[in-house]
């Protein structure tokens, strides 16, 4: 690959590592391209954020193809992961400690599968307070970490499919296909309520964005070593 390749535009599929932000990956690749080809600047952007605690498919666009970011972001997403059943956290995932525990003696596989179907279709979802959404010029997670309560407006999303793939309490595995803007952490929290218990997201991996698949992605290290 040459400097011109990246300037003309490339779509790069990366398997984002755990504990990296999406911007960490963008910055690492941008720096590597600039250093490798002695460029003063190069446009690099990602087409859809993954939280630091999530792994999987992250699409990056370079050069002139950064104009396609909005189009790619609007594509449906597919995620696989696990919910921890019987507890909740303020962040709806492992970023924060458990704040409440619930009974799970009534939970059976049929209950879980039936509850999953409740969420299929168009619905309103309230994003988690620990998110990067801006309100009054502040990121919601900044307000949350300061203990500031704020009202969050529900957003319309669509769940195309929601399947419970394995059941081994306290964790269950799932596969979800959904629209842009869906927060799987919020889905975990809402799912816990639907089964008259609690739940939080314990692992998450994005496997598809439209026709782009994780099977065609490279690790960050492999990509950086390829040129």
* pLDDT, tens digit (0-9, with 9 covering 90-100), for 166-213: 999 999 999 999 999 999 999 999 999 999 999 999 999 999 999 999
CATH number of 134's domain: 3.30.2350.10
- CB atoms inside a 10 Å sphere around CB 27: 12
Q: Which residues, in sequence order, are CB contacts of 142 under 8 Å at separation 6+?
A: none
Residue 138 has pLDDT above 60, yes or no: no
Domain of residue 36 covers 3-74+213-224
Same domain, 96 and 204: yes
pLDDT confidence of residue 1: 87
Confidence tier at 122 by pLDDT (50, 70, 90): very high
Q: What is the mean pLDDT of the chain?
A: 92
Confidence tier at 146 by pLDDT (50, 70, 90): low
Confidence tier at 153 by pLDDT (50, 70, 90): confident
Catalytic machinery residues: 51
Same domain, 114 and 25: no
* Structure confidence by residue, pLDDT tens digits, 14-71: 999 999 999 999 999 999 999 999 999 999 999 999 999 999 999 999 999 999 999 9
**Could you tell me how far CA 193 lies from the centroid of its own chain?**
21
pTM for the whole structure: 0.91
Confidence tier at 154 by pLDDT (50, 70, 90): confident
Q: What is the rounded CA–CA span in Å between residue 130 and residue 151?
A: 13
Same domain, 70 and 139: no
Same domain, 90 and 114: yes
**Could you tell me how far CA 62 lies from the centroid of its own chain?**
21
Same domain, 31 and 88: no
Q: How many domains does the chain have?
A: 2
How far CA 42 is from CA of 2, 27, 142, 152, 222, in Å, comes to 13, 11, 30, 36, 20
Q: Which residues, in sequence order, are CB contacts of 194 under 8 Å at separation 6+?
A: 115, 118, 119
Residue 72 has pLDDT above 80, yes or no: yes
Residue 150 has pLDDT above 90, yes or no: no
Same domain, 189 and 99: yes
């Amino acid at each position: 690959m040459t400097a011109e390749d990246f300037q003309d535009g490339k779509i790069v599929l990366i398997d984002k590592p755990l504990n990296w932000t999406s911007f960490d990956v963008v910055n690492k690749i941008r720096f590597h391209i600039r250093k490798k080809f002695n460029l003063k600047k190069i446009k690099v952007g990602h087409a859809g954020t993954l939280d630091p605690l999530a792994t999987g498919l992250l699409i990056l666009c370079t050069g002139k193809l950064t104009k396609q970011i909005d189009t790619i972001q609007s594509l449906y997403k597919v995620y696989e992961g696990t919910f921890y059943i019987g507890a909740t956290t303020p962040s709806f995932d492992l970023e924060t400690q458990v704040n409440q525990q619930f009974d799970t003696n009534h939970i059976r596989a049929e209950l879980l599968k039936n509850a999953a179907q409740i969420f299929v279709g168009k619905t309103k979802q309230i994003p988690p307070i620990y998110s990067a959404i801006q309100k009054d010029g502040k990121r919601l997670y900044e307000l949350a970490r300061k203990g500031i309560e704020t009202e969050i407006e529900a957003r319309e999303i669509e769940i195309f499919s929601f399947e419970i793939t394995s059941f081994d309490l306290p964790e269950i595995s799932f596969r979800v296909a959904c629209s842009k803007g869906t927060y799987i952490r919020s889905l975990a929290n809402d799912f816990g309520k639907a089964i008259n218990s609690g739940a939080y997201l314990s692992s998450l991996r994005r496997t598809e964005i439209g026709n782009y698949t994780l099977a065609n992605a490279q690790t960050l290290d492999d990509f950086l070593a390829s040129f």
